[in-house]
């Protein structure tokens, strides 16, 4: 067999004989010898194993961030020059951060392996002229496979025989309705998967009928295998959070090096020894690094994941929490995500009137009986409906009308039937009635059924079906069809006995037309609200589906993704194939709905938006969604209907499959970024205050703070309030703001300016208190006592300044009176605990000696606390000026 045969993806364009010729097989199948030779050449019919990373590899990958590298370097330098305590603290923080990251990401990548596990365990195959049962991994190209309802298709097949065969392919195409398979040869070589009605694809489900097909693709050469290849070749996306932290690390490194060099040079110029200044410079540099930042960011993200989990959004990768907050585009699969994934009767045309499904309908209406009788749905003991989604929708409609369907079917049992056939597009049953007569019930395609009707029901009377009446029915059918409803027609007739000739020509003639049924997989109501909220938040919702263009467009308009009167905005996969990547990147903003698309199209759409500078979230539940989920900035899988493949490729999984949960997650993501930004503002303004205090003091020749003071302040006043800021509630207008944009950093939205002016204020107030205590001492004494008092007051002032300043950081521009002083209980507790830890080193005898500080009296405490508190009104006045300037600007 030619090695290229498995690569031929256009078997749907070939006649049956040509298919057998290319597969070097026949209707009798292969011999064992042929199958053995092909197995040796191509290998088993299974997907390649996915690569997994060990926990150790994952642990070391946590150290790749630039910020972490800077911290490790600082720890080493601190250890070399004798500051072992600071070195140990930094190392502990870094390792803790890595452990938390590994713990959150402990579940290994399972997407490709999950694809493998989905394979059908067994298949019925023609071998050596007989039908045998084989493990699906033993199939090779050329095998002839038999299919029946309940089977999982074991390989890619070109169908050679069908009998009412229906296959559910939503995992590949996104369509919620099983596809009627037929043997018609297609002419279009570029036909999408959903249009290839003479093909059956690996891992799809046979829901009705039976068939036979010749294997034309196995393992990695199947459509599912193609998806596995895309998954294997798709790189992990670097999140905005990771980019921001790396950028922040680089900024800090440059700033710290500049500060250290300047301090070193100034000290030498003032006559201080080079070793003394080298140690001072390193001490300053280490003090300037917010060593707790990576751990604080990780903790804030972890707290965010816990809150999101309570609201049905399960995060698999920590940075995904923050990425959600910056999302510009949500690309969503239609079926099951934006819609109910459940066919539902929406319109009824009966008795000459078109009405909603919720309107009243006579219990003895003939259309109701046709729905129940010409139907193969099974009702289980617990009331669950089992069968084709279209037929279960009809039974559910009857149940909603409070009809005891089981009782009706028991009283008038089925005694004969003509199964559905894709050529005549009809199904008929014969029911024995209580009066001894028999009722023929028929349902099917309106145009085909009307050809067999001679009468119809109008105003509760059976009238002759003339051309004028037929025209009205066909116009109604068209009206329903353009609303993207799937339309079925029903008819009936009474006969005296069971027809001896159960052929279509005999039974399905002289019928009474009883009505039309319009069905659709309806949109989720909560999804409609979520799309609206997303739009107000500046987020664009994009529908990507394997469904037909008209259906997709109608659902999009009902959801608000498209305007009700909008023309355009919809494109099919075939049309997309005609557009180059360059042209598409300029036109991607023109489209909000993509219909009849393949997995490759989905990836292309996501990449086009990313090229346009947008942060893209992709939701999905099927195998076909996995590559795009992995390519997107954040992939969102479905927990209930989602395949293990889509979950494995996702950053976040919705436990309730509810589109509106995404909006909740976006709000949480925006809050998380805002709170990380607040923590960074708090830490860097505090560190800047410390650096400026030491820098200016060095220039003035003051010995203001020892390394132990800086270390203790960083330990007790930085960590707890910074973490507590991560628990701040979302600001009231967070979902009224536009996405911050891909280029936004932690310094955006006025944060950098706030860090600078607030750090200057902290340093200035600390230096002022030291100057006052030195040159205008409260109590007389020798120079050493005055110096100790001044040093102690500066130490406590700098620490308390940071605690009071934490209140200012609750909002960059809003007044503290608007945000609220005491809404965050954990924040309030952290301030009290940090304040107590700062004070005890002065108040408790013995500790003050260890920290080289002295006791302060009441007046000194009043001065320290007043000076520290002053940062709140000062910053409030500056914020007022900024808000006034913004309004005028």
Q: Read off the pLDDT of residues 378-421 as tens digits, 9 standing for 90 and up.
A: 888 888 888 888 899 999 999 999 999 999 999 999 999 998 88
Closest residue by Cα to residue 705 from 762, 755, 752: 762
b vs e for 781-796, b when ≥16 Cβ sit within 10 Å of the residue's Cβ? eeeeebbbbbbbbbbb
The encoded tokens of residue 577 equal 């194939």
| 825-843 helix and 783-808 helix, angle to the nearest 10 degrees | 180
Cβ-Cβ contacts under 8 Å for 459 (sequence gap 6 or more):
351, 352
Q: Which long-range contacts (CB under 8 A, 24 or more apart) does 31-38 make?
A: 31/127, 31/128, 32/127, 32/128, 34/142, 35/127, 35/138, 35/140, 35/142, 35/143, 38/1, 38/140, 38/141, 38/142
Give one word for 50, left, alpha or beta, with left for phi > 0 and alpha for psi -120 to 50: beta
For residues 333 and 545, is the Cβ–Cβ distance under 8 A? yes
Q: What angle do CA 738, 740, 746 make, to 5 degrees?
A: 150
The encoded tokens of residue 357 equal 């499904």
CA dist., res. 388 & res. 207, Å (int): 7
CA dist., res. 442 & res. 762, Å (int): 84
φ, ψ dihedrals at 303, nearest 5°: -65, -35
The encoded tokens of residue 564 equal 């009700």
CA dist., res. 476 & res. 514, Å (int): 14
Instruction: Look at residue 125 in the predicted model and tell me its pLDDT.
Output: 94
Instruction: Look at residue 236 in the predicted model and tell me its pLDDT.
Output: 55
For residues 755 and 684, is the Cβ–Cβ distance under 8 A? yes
Residue located via tokens 């520290």:
868
Strand order of the sheet with strand 593-595?
A: 313-315, 652-654, 634-638, 616-620, 329-333, 540-544, 593-595, 570-572
Return the biggest CA–CA distance within the chain.
124
Identify any residues that bridge with 162 across adjacent strands, giving them in sequence order: 211
Cβ-Cβ contacts under 8 Å for 232 (sequence gap 6 or more):
48, 50, 51, 112
Tell the burial category of 636 from Cβ atoms under 10 Å away from its Cβ (0-12, 13-18, 19+): buried
User: Coil, helix or strand for 738?
Assistant: coil
Rounded-to-10 torsion of CA 651, 655, 660, 665: -40
Is 333 part of the annotated catalytic residue set? Answer: yes
User: Coil, helix or strand for 703?
Assistant: coil
Residue located via tokens 């074991």:
154
CA dist., res. 387 & res. 464, Å (int): 35
b vs e for 159-194, b when ≥16 Cβ sit within 10 Å of the residue's Cβ? bbebebbbbbbbbbbbbbbbbbbebeebeeeebbbb
For residues 646 and 625, is the Cβ–Cβ distance under 8 A? yes
Tell the burial category of 201 from Cβ atoms under 10 Å away from its Cβ (0-12, 13-18, 19+): buried
The encoded tokens of residue 344 equal 């539902």
Q: State pLDDT tens for residues 98-142.
A: 665 565 454 334 433 444 444 446 889 999 888 898 888 899 999
Domains of the chain, first to last: 5-49+113-227 (2.70.150.10), 290-306+672-888 (1.20.1110.10), 314-340+524-657 (3.40.50.1000), 344-520 (3.40.1110.10)
Cα distances (angstroms) measured from residue 191 to each of 20, 72, 406: 21, 56, 43
Helix, strand, coil percentages (3-state) for the chain, rounded to 5, are: 50, 15, 30
CA dist., res. 442 & res. 492, Å (int): 6
DSSP-assigned letter for residue 342: S
Bridging pattern class, strands 438-444 and 426-432: antiparallel
CA dist., res. 6 & res. 140, Å (int): 10
The encoded tokens of residue 634 equal 């954040």
Annotated catalytic residue: which of 333, 547, 621, 718?
A: 333
Q: Which long-range contacts (CB under 8 A, 24 or more apart) does 820-828 make?
A: 823/729, 824/724, 824/727, 824/728, 824/729, 826/724, 826/727, 827/721, 827/724, 827/725, 827/727, 827/728
Cβ-Cβ contacts under 8 Å for 358 (sequence gap 6 or more):
none
Tell the burial category of 441 from Cβ atoms under 10 Å away from its Cβ (0-12, 13-18, 19+): buried
Closest residue by Cα to residue 301 from 97, 106, 107, 56: 97
The encoded tokens of residue 618 equal 């992709």
Instruction: Look at residue 270 in the predicted model and tell me its pLDDT.
Output: 73
Identify any residues that bridge with 491 across adjacent strands, giving them in sequence order: 442, 513
Tell the burial category of 252 from Cβ atoms under 10 Å away from its Cβ (0-12, 13-18, 19+): buried
CA dist., res. 444 & res. 613, Å (int): 49
- For the chain, which ranges sit under pLDDT 50? 1-5, 104, 106-120
Helix (H) or strand (E) holding 414: strand 414-421
Instruction: Look at residue 565 in the predicted model and tell me its pLDDT.
Output: 80
The encoded tokens of residue 220 equal 């990695």
Helix (H) or strand (E) holding 789: helix 783-808
Closest residue by Cα to residue 234 from 652, 654, 741, 650: 650
Instruction: Look at residue 86 in the predicted model and tell me its pLDDT.
Output: 58
Radius of gyration of the chain (CA): 36
């Amino acid at each position: 067999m030619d090695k290229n045969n498995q690569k031929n993806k256009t078997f749907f364009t070939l006649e049956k004989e040509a298919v057998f010729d290319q597969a070097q097989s026949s209707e009798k199948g292969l011999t064992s010898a042929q199958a053995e030779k092909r197995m040796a050449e191509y290998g088993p019919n299974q997907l390649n194993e996915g690569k997994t990373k060990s926990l150790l590899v994952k642990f070391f990958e946590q150290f790749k961030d630039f910020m972490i590298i800077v911290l490790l370097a600082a720890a080493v330098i601190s250890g070399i020059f004798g500051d072992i305590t600071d070195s140990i603290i930094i190392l502990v923080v870094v390792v803790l951060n890595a452990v938390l990251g590994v713990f959150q990401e402990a579940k290994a990548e399972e997407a490709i392996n999950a694809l493998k596990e989905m394979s059908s365990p067994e298949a019925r195959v023609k071998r050596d002229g007989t039908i045998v049962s084989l493990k699906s991994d033993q199939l090779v190209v050329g095998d002839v496979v038999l299919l029946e309802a309940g089977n999982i298709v074991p390989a890619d097949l070109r169908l050679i025989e069908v009998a009412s065969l229906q296959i559910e392919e939503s995992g590949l195409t996104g369509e919620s309705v099983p596809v009627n398979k037929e043997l018609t040869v297609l002419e279009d070589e570029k036909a999408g998967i959903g249009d290839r009605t003479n093909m059956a694809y690996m891992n799809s489900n046979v829901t009705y009928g039976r068939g036979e097909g010749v294997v034309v693709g196995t393992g990695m050469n199947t459509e599912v295998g193609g998806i596995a290849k895309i998954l294997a070749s798709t790189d992990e996306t670097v999140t905005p959070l990771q980019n921001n932290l790396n950028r922040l690390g680089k900024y800090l490194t440059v700033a710290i090096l500049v500060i250290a060099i300047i301090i070193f040079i100034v000290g030498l110029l003032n006559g201080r020894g080079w070793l003394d200044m080298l140690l001072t410079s390193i001490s300053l540099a280490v003090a300037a690094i917010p060593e707790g930042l990576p751990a604080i960011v990780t903790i804030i993200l972890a707290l965010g994941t816990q809150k999101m989990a309570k609201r049905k959004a399960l995060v698999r990768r920590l940075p995904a929490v923050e990425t959600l907050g910056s999302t510009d585009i949500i690309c969503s699969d239609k079926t099951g995500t934006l819609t109910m994934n459940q066919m539902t009767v929406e319109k009824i045309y009966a008795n000459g009137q078109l009405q909603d499904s919720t309107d009243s309908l006579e219990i003895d209406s003939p259309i109701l009986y046709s729905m129940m009788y010409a139907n193969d749905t099974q009702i289980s003991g617990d009331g669950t409906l089992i069968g084709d989604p279209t037929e279960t929708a009809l039974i559910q409609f009857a149940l909603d009308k409070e009809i005891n369907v089981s009782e009706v079917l028991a009283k008038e049992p089925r005694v004969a039937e003509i199964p559905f056939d894709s050529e005549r597009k009809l199904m008929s049953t014969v029911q024995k009635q209580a009066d001894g007569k028999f009722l023929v019930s028929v349902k099917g395609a309106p145009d085909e059924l009307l050809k067999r009707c001679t009468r119809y029901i109008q105003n509760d009377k059976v009238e002759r079906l003339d051309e004028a009446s037929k025209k009205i029915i066909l116009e109604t059918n068209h009206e329903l069809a353009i609303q993207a409803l799937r339309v079925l027609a029903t008819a009936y007739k009474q006969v005296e006995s069971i027809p001896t000739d159960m052929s279509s020509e005999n039974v399905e003639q002289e019928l009474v037309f009883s009505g039309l049924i319009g069905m659709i997989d309806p949109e989720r109501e909560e999804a409609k609200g979520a799309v609206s909220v997303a739009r107000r938040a500046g987020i664009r919702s994009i529908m990507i589906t394997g469904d037909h263009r008209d259906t997709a467009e109608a659902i999009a308009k009902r959801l608000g993704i498209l305007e009700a009167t909008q023309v355009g905005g919809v494109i099919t996969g075939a049309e997309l194939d005609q557009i180059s990547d360059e042209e598409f990147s300029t036109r991607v903003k023109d489209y909000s709905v993509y219909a009849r698309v393949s997995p490759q199209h989905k990836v292309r759409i996501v990449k086009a938006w990313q090229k346009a500078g947008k942060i893209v979230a992709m939701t999905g539940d099927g195998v076909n969604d996995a590559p795009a989920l992995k390519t997107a900035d954040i992939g969102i899988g479905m927990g209930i209907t989602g395949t293990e493949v889509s979950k494995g490729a996702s950053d976040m999984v919705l436990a309730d499959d509810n589109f509106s949960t995404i909006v909740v997650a976006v709000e949480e993501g925006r809050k998380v970024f805002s709170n990380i930004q607040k923590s960074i503002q708090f830490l860097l303004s505090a560190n800047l205050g410390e650096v400026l205090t030491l820098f200016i003091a060095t220039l003035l020749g003051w010995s203001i703070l020892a390394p132990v003071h800086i270390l203790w302040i960083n330990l007790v006043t930085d960590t707890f309030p910074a973490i507590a800021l991560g628990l701040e509630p979302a600001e009231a207008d967070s979902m009224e703001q536009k996405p911050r944009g891909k280029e936004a950093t932690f310094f955006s939205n006025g944060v950098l300016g706030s860090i600078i002016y607030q750090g200057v204020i902290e340093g200035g107030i600390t230096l002022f208190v030291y100057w006052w205590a030195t040159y205008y001492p409260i109590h007389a004494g020798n120079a050493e006592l005055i110096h100790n008092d001044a040093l102690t007051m500066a130490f406590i002032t700098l620490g308390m300044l940071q605690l009071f300043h934490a209140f200012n950081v609750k909002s960059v521009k809003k007044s503290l009176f608007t945000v609220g002083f005491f809404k965050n209980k954990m924040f309030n507790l952290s301030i009290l605990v940090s304040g107590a830890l700062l004070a005890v080193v002065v108040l408790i005898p013995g500790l003050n000696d260890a920290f080289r500080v002295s006791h302060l009296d009441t007046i000194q405490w009043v001065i320290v606390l007043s000076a520290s508190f002053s940062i709140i009104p000062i910053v409030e006045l500056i914020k007022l000026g900024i808000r006034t300037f913004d309004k005028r600007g």
